[in-house]
Structure 1
Amino acid sequence: MTRKNILITGASSGLGNGMAIEFAKKGRNLALCARRVDRLETLKTELLAINPNINVLIKPLDVNQHEEVFSVFKAFRTELGQLDRVIINAGMGKGASVGTGYFQANKQTAETNFVAALAQAEAAMEIFREQNAGHLVTISSISAVRGFRRALTVYAATKAAVTSLSEGIRIDVMNTPIKVSCVHPGFIRSEINEKVEKVPFIVDTETGCKALVKAIEKEKANSYVPAWPWAWMHWVLRMVPAKSLRGMS
């Protein structure tokens, strides 16, 4: 099934930006939202240069403003006639070890990555249930499979929550025309990790986003991308001793 009208949150940079480019190449109509409208305007111009035959809609959205999430999603649906796929991508990676004085940063990550993700899922699923059709996609992380230390502690916890949330929604709409996929990216270079120097198996944004879109199009329940090495590495991470994880993060 071709999902013609695709909504992506957090589309002004990083993985959201990269996925929009890949879907534009495939001729999909795009509904893009983020806080930085100037970047969305630039992206819209780029997408229409790639494919002038697609429809690109942009709107400002801070996903932590939950009522706005519902109104923006509904507006996109009205303008496009139908939403075929919603990709919950907006997120952040601020934080530090718990108990070291960075509660506000950890709280901001928790609220943005999970509570705001819930708001987006609620808004998308209301539309899909009314349409009796749609594909909900959540962007989790390879870090969801285990707990990690330092700046990753809260981030990994939120991504584990996103994975669990996705499974619950999937079970709830099982055997209906509504599909739910959770994608777990490995290390893909983007703004969220641009200052991190030593990262194993990291790939550039374009390579990572091609892998993301390929996985999303398959509409599997769970996927780990890029497939090499994460299709098998996530099993290794689940089994390694905690002391080994301490040395990795």
Structure 2
Amino acid sequence: MSETIGGAAASNLTSTSAIDEAIRLTGAFEQAARTHLAVMSLSARAIVRAWAEAEIAIQAARCSGEPNAAELPSAEEFRAAPHLAREEISREVITRWRAPGGQPLGDQDEDRVLYREGRWYLPLMGTDRPAMFLTERGQFERVTYAEYMQRAEAPLLIKSLSVPGILADDMPGWLPDRISTAACAAGVLARLDELMGAPVSNRAERVITHEYVFHHGVSKPNIPTIAISAIL
């Protein structure tokens, strides 16, 4: 009986500890969100504003007629990952069994080659052929290299950057939902000014109104004597 009571008490203690830990970590998350989202909002707006101002300057320069101005890249050119040419790492001469067709066996297949009844062969799994018979070995130069990678363009920053408000109805630091892909830099600046001038929370703009709740009827007021004389 005492063991049962003790076990229940231990289970309750563990459950309480788990709840305390969950509450602690939830509080830590809230503190981190409140602290860092506020900073991230300011940073996001600063980045977007710098982009818009740079794009406006680039467009002005392109229209200036100055030499080479038309070749100015976009402000986000630096974010593109450049293409990488094939890069040779090493060369070595190796000896391998040759498969039908002349290609060398891979490292793993080379280690699986068996000899039986005067013949060398590679067991095959998952095919109709039980084995690949091998008759010739050869020397190959194995070239190890890093493959070519083509240039990669980054998505437009104002379309991929997103920093929400802290609370559900707080103004966001920056959200791309109201910015079209072809948005001009001037439009982005206008959106920033709108965000900067808006209240932190939409709750600051709540509509003030009235409602009437009937309690009970009351007696009619007495008609003043002056009013009666006027009627007569």
TM-score, with structure 1 as normaliser: 0.21
Higher RCO structure (Cα 8 Å, ≥6 apart):
2
Flag the structure with larger Rg: 2
TM-score, with structure 2 as normaliser: 0.22
Structure with the higher fraction of residues in helix conformation? 1
